[in-house]
Structure 1
C-alpha cells in the first residue's frame, strides 16, 4: 500500500532535496517513489500527466497534473495525509488538493505568518475568518456547516478563536445573532460578556449549564413548530436571518461522574443529551454549536456532536493519537505543528488545512463590542490601530 511505499522511500526522497532537479521533476520523482500511478489489466503503467504550472500570487507555484483514470481515492488520501514527503523532498511548504480528475500541488516559497491580527470586515452571510494560509484567508460558513468542534493543548489559541468568532458574528449581525455561552473554567473568560445585548445567558457550572440548555431546547421546539406551520425544512431557505449559537469552552471541565452524587450524574447526562440533540437536529432551524475542549474524547464530547460537525480545528496537541481523536482517524498532523500560538489544522470535510488563526486582544474586542453593552455609548474613533500582534495569554 502507498503508506508503506512512503515509509520505504524516505531516504530516496531525502536525496531528491539535495539534487539540482527542478521542483516539477522532484514532484514527479516523488510520484514515482510513492507509487502514485496505476497498473492496467494489460500490465501498462498509467502515471500522472503534467498539464501546467502557474504562479500563486507572489508566494509560490501551482503544478497541475491529470490523474490517471481509475486512480483509487485512498491513494490521494494517503498523499494528503503524508504531505510531509513532498515538503521533505522539495524542502519547501507544500499543499495538495484535487478536483475534476486534477491533482494540484501547491509549492510555496514562504512560510505561514507567525501571527495575524484580526480586523473586522463587513460582509454578508454567516462566514467568519478561521485562519490564514500561505495564499488566502479561510472562512468558516456556519450556514453550510452549522457546528464546529475544536481541540488542542491549552494556551495555544482555542479561547482566542472563540473570541474572534463572537466578535465577528456580533459586528456583522448585531440584530440577528444570539449567544448562549457555557464557560466551565469558572466563568473567567465569558462572564465578562454578560452585558452584551447579544449574549442571552452565561453558564459557569453544571446546574447553570442545565438551565441554559433547557432554555435552548425549548426555543428549538418553538422554532420546529414554526417550521411545520409555515412549511419549511431549513432556515436558510427562508427570510428568517436569526441564528442562535451555543458556545462551549473547556467542556472537559464538566465534573467527572465519579465525583458526583446521583442527582448530579443525572444532570450531567441530561446536559450531554441536550447538547447532542441540538447538534443532531438544530442545524436546520438556525442553531449552531461550537464545542471546544483540550481533548475531545467520548466522555467529554458526545458522539452525536462529533458526527454532526463536518468541520473541526485542532491546535498543537501532544501526540498523533490525540490529533486523531479530534480530527479523525489517521489525521495526526496536529501533533507535528510547530510550537506557535494560533497555529492549527482546520478540517473542512476531507480537506486538511494548516493555517494561522487570527488574534484578537481583549482591548480590541472591547473596542469593537463596547457599543453593544447595555447603556454604553458607541466609541468615537478607532484608537486601537497599533495593537500588539503577538499572542499573549490567548487561551
Structure 2
C-alpha cells in the first residue's frame, strides 16, 4: 500500500500536494527546449542553443530560461516554431492543481487501493475531473539573448473578484484582472482610456469595477459624470452616490453634461493659472479627480435615433456635433486638469472613435470585437476579433501590451461599497421650486374661484 492507515490524512495530504504541484524540474524543461530546437532545425553550422542561466522569480508562476542562440538565427525563427515548443513541453506532462480545499474531497479508502504511482493520475481525474488539468505555456523575447518563459499555470477563464485585491492597489490604480503572472493593474490618473468590446464580453463589468474601486479607495477624492447611453440601465445604481455629480442617459442630457464639464475645465484652468501650476500633480491643495465615463458612445449618433421631423433631426444633429467637438477638447486638454475621459463603445469605428480622442488616450482595453478592422481602430493591430472567452481582454498601455482575464465583480460586492455613499438628492424640478415663503400669501398670484 502507498498510503498507510496511520495519519493517512496528514501524510497523504502532504504527499499529494508535493506530487501534484511539484511537476517537472526546470532542468527537464531546459532539456526539452533544447531537444525541440534541434528537432525543428533551429541550429546553425552544427551549433545548438546554449543555456546561459535559468531564473524562477519569487511569487511568480513561471521559470525563465535564457539562451545564447547560434549566429544567423533570430527571435522570429523561434517564434515561428512557438507551437512546437508548447506542444513538446506538454507532451505527456498534463498536471493537476490541488488546493487544501480539494484535499477534503479525497476518498482515502479509494486511494489505499493504489499499488503503483502510475495509477495516481487516473485516480485524480476521477475525483476532480478534467477541469483540474493545466497546460504549460510559453512566451519568447529577445534582448541580445533568447528568453523563454515557461508558465506553470494557465490563464483562468472565469475570475471572481477578491476584495483582498484592493489592498494591493497603488493610488489611482485599478485591478482589471489577472495575467499568467498574477494581478494586473492599470493606472488611470495620468490620461484618458478607451474601452471597446462587443456586448456580454466584459466591457461594462470592468466599468463597474472601475467606479467601485475608486468609491472604495478614494471616496473623498473622486467625482463622476456618468453618461449611460443604454437607457440609463448600466449606471442607475450609482445615481444617488454623492460622488456622482452628473448623470445622463440620452443625447440631450449628455449634451448638457459635457457642457457642464467644459465650464469646469475653464474654472480649473483659471485656478491653476492663479496657483502658477501646469498640471494637477503640481497642486498642493486637495482637489478631486473627475472621471467622465461614457457607456456606449455610439448611441450619441443622432442617425441611430428614431427621429421623424426635420426640426428634431436638425436639433439632434447640432447637439451630436457639439458633443463630438467637446469630447475632442476634453481629450486634448482635460487630463492635466484632473478630468479624465473613459470612452466605451461596442462599435469602435473611425466615425465613433474620433482620431483625436484616440490619439490622446494612453490606456486601451479591448474585449472581443467582431472584425479585425474594429480591433485595428482601437489597438492599431488585429487580435481582438480572435478572443473567444468572456472577460478576456487585450490591454495596451505605454508599458506594453498584455492579455488579461478580467475580474467579475458581483452585485453584492458593489452594493457593499456604494451603500455608505448614497444620499437623497433633490430632483432638478424640485431645485427650481421656491422653498421660502409661500408666494400665495401676498394674494398677488392667488387664483380665487367665486361660488356660482
Q: Which residue of 2 aligns with 1:223?
A: 268
Q: 1:291 to 1:52 in 2, by over 3 A?
A: same
Contact kept, 8 Å, 1:314 with 1:326, in 2: the verdict is yes
Q: Which runs of 5+ in 1 are unaligned?
A: 1-19, 38-43, 377-395
Pairing partner for 1:336 from 383, 386, 396: 386
Shift of 1:215: 0.6
Deviation per CA, 1:77-125: give whole Å up to 9, x if none: x988997676566554233456x65654322122112222223424441
Q: Which residue of 2 aligns with 1:208?
A: 253
Q: Which residue of 1 aligns with 2:413?
A: 364
Q: 1:30 to 1:284 in 2, by over 3 A?
A: farther
Q: Which residue of 2 aligns with 1:138?
A: 184
Q: 1:68 to 1:50 in 2, by over 3 A?
A: same
Q: Which residue of 2 aligns with 1:232?
A: 277
Q: Secondary structure of the equivalent of 2:232?
A: coil
2:96 is equivalent to residue 64 of structure 1: no
Q: Which residue of 2 aligns with 1:183?
A: 228
Pairing partner for 2:173 from 127, 149, 155: 127
Q: Distance in 2 between matches of 1:244 and 1:233?
A: 17
Contact kept, 8 Å, 1:295 with 1:326, in 2: the verdict is no
Contact kept, 8 Å, 1:143 with 1:236, in 2: the verdict is no
Q: Normalising by the residue count of structure 1, what TM-score does the alignment of the two structures yield?
A: 0.75
Q: 1:258 to 1:209 in 2, by over 3 A?
A: closer
Q: Which residue of 2 aligns with 1:276?
A: 328
Q: Distance in 1 between matches of 2:298 and 2:81?
A: 30
Shift of 1:168: 0.4
Q: 1:130 to 1:218 in 2, by over 3 A?
A: same
Select the structure that is richer in helix: 2
Shift of 1:22: 3.4
Contact kept, 8 Å, 1:275 with 1:305, in 2: the verdict is yes
Deviation per CA, 1:304-356: give whole Å up to 9, x if none: 11111122111122343332222213x32x223233x2111111236221111
Q: 1:238 to 1:338 in 2, by over 3 A?
A: same
Q: Which residue of 2 aligns with 1:113?
A: 156
Deviation per CA, 1:241-294: give whole Å up to 9, x if none: 520000011112223437561221121011111111111111111111111111
Q: Which residue of 1 aligns with 2:450?
A: none
Contact kept, 8 Å, 1:115 with 1:342, in 2: the verdict is yes
Q: 1:258 to 1:313 in 2, by over 3 A?
A: closer
Contact kept, 8 Å, 2:38 with 2:48, in 1: the verdict is no
Q: Which runs of 5+ in 2 are unaligned?
A: 1-28, 91-135, 308-312, 426-452
Q: Which residue of 1 aligns with 2:295?
A: 249
Q: 1:205 to 1:136 in 2, by over 3 A?
A: same
Q: Which residue of 2 aligns with 1:25?
A: 34
Q: Distance in 1 between matches of 2:352 and 2:80?
A: 26
2:165 is equivalent to residue 94 of structure 1: no
Q: Distance in 1 between matches of 2:380 and 2:355?
A: 12
Deviation per CA, 1:168-188: give whole Å up to 9, x if none: 011111001000011110101
Contact kept, 8 Å, 2:65 with 2:149, in 1: the verdict is yes
My pick for the range that moved more, 120-129 or 59-68, is 59-68
Bigger-Rg structure (1/2): 2
Q: Distance in 2 between matches of 1:117 and 1:313?
A: 19
Pairing partner for 1:197 from 227, 237, 242: 242
